[in-house]
Amino acid sequence: MRPTDSHFAARARQVILALCISISLSAQTTDRDLLRAYQREDMTTWQAYVDTTVNLLYEYGFCGYIVSKDKEAAKPYVHRFREHVEAQRKQLPRGHYEMYLSAVYVYELRLKESIHPIKAMNLAKEATRLAPNDPLVLSYYGTCLFYAPQPFGSKKEALEYFERADQLFQAPKWKDCWVREATEMYIRQCQEKLKKH
């Protein structure tokens, strides 16, 4: 049986309705909602958000989470994150392109789809040169230093970057940013690890 024009019209209405619902849901999700979900370790809220919205900061965070939990499920998210980073390259603030591309390389490395650990570290360091007072960039570089093996990483140096980022995160505009809370957690972890040595 051949589909009729009314079949196509009905299907088009369904697609438009689904798009409107997803746009409405993503528009209703605030940074505060996502921060609360992060605090509860409820990444299903984040997944629903990144499934319906292009927001590199949350894609970066969600990819980090899902890569550590389920590598197969992470692959499409990491690939889409890379596409979004490249598509927004010219619109990103100074240092953010390098930061996000470095994160892509790190995630691809963890998925065994990349062999660029040094390139990832170099991009992260370049991001700090381009944006030395951006707390997102400083915190990201601290994360790289925290997880990188010696001689590339250092908990002591990571702590310095996290503390600088934390000072900058005190500005009111960062109040509901999940990276601010993650930075505070990393400060505590660095301090604990450095006490043990």
Domain boundary (130, 145, 169) is at 130
pLDDT at 23: 42
- Domain match, 100 and 140 both: no
The whole-number average pLDDT for the span 75-97 is 96
Query: Who has greater pLDDT, 106 or 15?
Result: 106
Domain edge (last residue) among 130, 146, 174:
130
pLDDT above 60 (res 19): no
Please give the pLDDT value at position 20: 40
pLDDT at 24: 42
Residues 142 and 96 in one domain: no
pLDDT tens per residue across span 108-149: 999 988 777 889 999 999 999 999 999 999 999 999 999 888
Confidence (pTM): 0.81
Domain count, the chain: 2
CA–CA distance, 147 with 124 (Å, rounded to integer): 13
Q: What is the mean pLDDT of the chain?
A: 87
Closest CA to 188 of 166, 170, 172: 166
**Rounded CA gap, 48 and 102, in Å?**
24
Domain that holds residue 193: 133-197
For residue 175, is pLDDT > 70?
Answer: yes
| CA pair distance 186, 72, nearest whole angstrom | 27
pLDDT at 7: 57
Question: Which structure tokens are listed for 155?
Answer: 């908990």
Residue 48 lies in a domain: no
Domain-embedded: residue 193:
yes
Place of tokens 């969600």: 62
40-76 pLDDT per residue, tens: 999 999 999 999 999 999 999 999 999 999 999 999 9
Q: Is residue 88 part of a domain?
A: yes
Q: Kindly state whether residue 81 falls inside one of the protein's structural domains.
A: yes
Q: Which residues of 35-61 are buried (b: 16+ CB within 10 A; e: fewer)?
A: bebbeeeebeebbebbebeebbebbbb
- Which residues make Cβ contacts (< 8 Å) with residue 87, sequence separation at least 6? none
Across residues 5-21, what is the average pLDDT?
50
Tell which residue, 39, 52, 69, has the closest CA to residue 178: 39
The three-state (H, E, C) secondary structure of the chain, written as one string:
CCCCHHHHHHHHHHHHHHHHHHHHHHHHCCHHHHHHHHHCCCHHHHHHHHHHCCCHHHHHHHHHHHHHHCHHHHHHHHHHHHHHHHHCHHHCCCCHHHHHHHHHHHHHHHCCCCCCHHHHHHHHHHHHHHCCCCHHHHHHHHHHHHHCCCCCCCHHHHHHHHHHHHHHCCCHHHCCCHHHHHHHHHHHHHHHHHHHC
